[in-house]
Amino acid sequence: MTGVRAPRRRVGRMSGGRAVLIALVSTIVFFGVIGWVVVNSPGWPAVQRSFLDPAEFRDALPDSIARFRINVQLFLIAEVLILVVGLLLAVLRSLPGPVFFPIRALAVAYVDIFRALPGILVIFVLGFGVPALRIPGVPKDPFFWAVVALTLVYSAYVSEVYRAGIESVHPSQEAAARSLGLSRFQALRFVILPQAVRRVVPPLLNDFIGLQKDTVLVSFIGVVEVFRTAQNKQAAHFNWTPYLATALIFILVTIPLARLTDWLIARDRRTQARGGVR
Amino acid sequence: MSAPVALRIEGVHKSFGKLEVLKGVDLEVGEHEVVCLIGASGSGKSTLLRCINLLEPIDAGRIIVEGEEITAPAADVDAIRRRIGIVFQAFNLFPHMSVLANITLAPIRVLRRPRARAEADASELLERFGLADKRDDFPDRLSGGQQQRLAIIRALAMEPDLLLLDEVTSALDPELVAEVLEIIRELAGQGMTMVIATHEMGFAREIADRVCFLDAGVILEQGPPDRIFGSPTEPRTRQFLARIVAAGRL
Ligand SMILES: Nc1ncnc2c1ncn2[C@@H]1O[C@H](COP(=O)(O)OP(=O)(O)OP(=O)(O)O)[C@@H](O)[C@H]1O
Ligand SMILES: [Mg+2]
């Protein structure tokens, strides 16, 4: 990423027209050479047939986009739950005093365990294992278990992000709130959390990006979403191009979100450098 | 003493780990009295004020406000803090709230005042202390002096019986000190009971009914400002004041 940005800044320092011309020529030559080498390498026709088949692409793209809706739904539902459960965990973990020790311990154990487990394991166990118990009243819908699994895994990460945010608010803020007669809970709700949440928006967005991509993992328990669609097509046509369509969709959705995150982080850093609101 | 007692501190001890900061502090503050705490840096002035507001638990002793022992184990800490305002050296304003919201937060949430009334009261205070035009700004847009005035207003909005001020001018540029001291003067004139930790000896001399010199964890000497500053009896008080004079602060 820095590799892309640095030259651009250097271009800016040179006299306008000439710099653009040099950059243009250099880019054309650079990618021209790479392109020529790739296209003339012995394996190229096979690669082209298998990965870059235009007919396959035209066939796969509409279905993939349609199926991507499932990923988006999964993402949106899980994200809301993750934000709520993560916050709850962070708050439980910061409960003071010996009375709350069991609750704190439980929250710590939860976070430790679900951060240690590979997401795919949790998805498998919940998606296949639990429905197989055939307990009456327990849902069998893989989409349901996909949401549960992603929420369990990601809320552990997100609670740590929240906790870092809560701890980054200076203790004098709590002292000021308590000195006005606010209870511990009121101080947390009106003074600490609003400041903490504002600070953790960029790292939370980073976790969102991870979640967005991890929605494909639930294809393994039979949720027919975008990745599963590509798999089915690949298996039927012996051609890998459908995966290209899936990749393209993720690239188009994720890059803007990643850029937004970078921008927010950079803005935060500028605010801090200015000695702004801490 | 005939005047009713607002605050009584009896044998208060406070340690941070091995460091014993307060070693048996006794102090009585009458209603409408202004008491200034002076003493070297690190002598425990802030610690004492924080103990009075129960922001620090004490190790031994008792603190009694308006006849109620606030250090009793069953005391309602939140209810007590409502009656004792504290203003910190570093303002500690809420940066995510407007000036108005900083002031009305506690009256609305703690005293359960209707928002409209809390805002009307806050506007009146802002008017009185010359911040009416900053009502909707955020604290980081205010000057240091304005921020400290806002911190005082925020404490006053709870209509405390007792106001604790902890070196409220020491984070300010010299030209901003006067505007904050003016407010404290006004509050004293209105009969607000105050305990003020300060390095501004000239101000302490002018405003205090009584000056207490805190040294080595106890109040070594106390009395009317003229006597403490004019003819201190304790050698250590004399030493401290001589250093202050040498530094040009008296
Ligand atoms: N939370 C704390 N933990 C450990 N030590 C502390 C804490 N608060 C204060 N102290 C120590 O207690 C002593 C008294 O501190 P305090 O802030 O009360 O002094 P002060 O008289 O207000 O000084 P100053 O005039 O510099 O404000 C100092 O040695 C300080 O380092
Ligand atoms: Mg201090």
**B48-103 pLDDT, tens per residue?**
999 999 999 999 999 999 888 999 988 888 888 899 999 998 889 999 999 999 99
Give nearest CA residue, ligand 1 atom 13. B42
% of residues, chain A, pLDDT over 90: 48
Under the banding of pLDDT at 50, 70 and 90, the label for residue B249 is low
Average pLDDT over residues A132-147: 88
User: Which domains does chain A show, CATH number per domain?
Assistant: 66-274 (1.10.3720.10)
How far apart (Å, rounded) are the C-alpha atoms in residues A244 and A254?
15
Under the banding of pLDDT at 50, 70 and 90, the label for residue A28 is very high
Average pLDDT over residues A247-268: 88
Could you tell me whether strands B34-38 and B193-197 are parallel, antiparallel, or unpaired per DSSP bridges?
Answer: parallel
How far apart (Å, rounded) are the C-alpha atoms in residues A20 and A18?
5
Which amino acid, residue A241? T
Query: What is the residue extent of each domain of chain B?
Result: 5-246
Q: Which of B106, B163, B105, B156 is nearest to B131 (CA)?
A: B156
Give the CA distances from residue A129 to residues A156, B27, B178, B192, B239, in Å, rounded to whole numbers and listed in that order: 22, 69, 73, 70, 79
CB contact under 8 A, A180 and B154: yes
Q: From the alpha carbon of B170, which atom of ligand 1 is closest? A: 27
Instruction: Give the up-direction half-sphere exposure of residue A91: CA atoms within 13 A in the CB hemisphere.
Output: 16
Q: Which residues of chain B are within 8 Å of residue A276 when distances are taken between CB atoms?
A: 140
Neighbours of A203 (CB within 10 A): 19
Residue A7 reports pLDDT greater than 60: no
Partner A contacted by B183 (CB < 8 A):
no
Give the CA distances from residue B61 to residues B26, B39, B166, in Å, rounded to whole numbers and listed in that order: 9, 21, 22
Stretch 202-241 of chain B: residues touching chain A, C-beta under 8 Å: none
Only one residue has tokens 């993560």, namely A86
Provide the 3-class DSSP secondary structure of residue A145.
helix
A257-273 burial by CB neighbour count: b if 16+ within 10 A, else e?
eeeebeebeeeeeeeee
Question: B178 and B168 in contact (C-beta within 8 Å)?
Answer: no
Residue A166 reports pLDDT greater than 90: yes
Fold of B5-246: Rossmann fold (3.40.50)
Residue B113 reports pLDDT greater than 80: yes
Give nearest CA residue, ligand 1 atom 10. B16
Residue A1 reports pLDDT greater than 70: no
Provide the token pair at B119: 């805002």
Partner B contacted by A177 (CB < 8 A):
yes
How far apart (Å, rounded) are the C-alpha atoms in residues B129 and A195?
28
Q: Is B169 in the pocket of ligand 1 (CB under 6 A)?
A: no
Q: Is B42 in the pocket of ligand 1 (CB under 6 A)?
A: yes
Look up the pTM and report it: 0.82
Q: Which of B14, B15, B18, B21 to mutate to test the pocket of ligand 1 (most atoms within 8 A of CB)?
A: B21
Question: B4 and B28 in contact (C-beta within 8 Å)?
Answer: no
How far apart (Å, rounded) are the C-alpha atoms in residues B29 and B33?
6
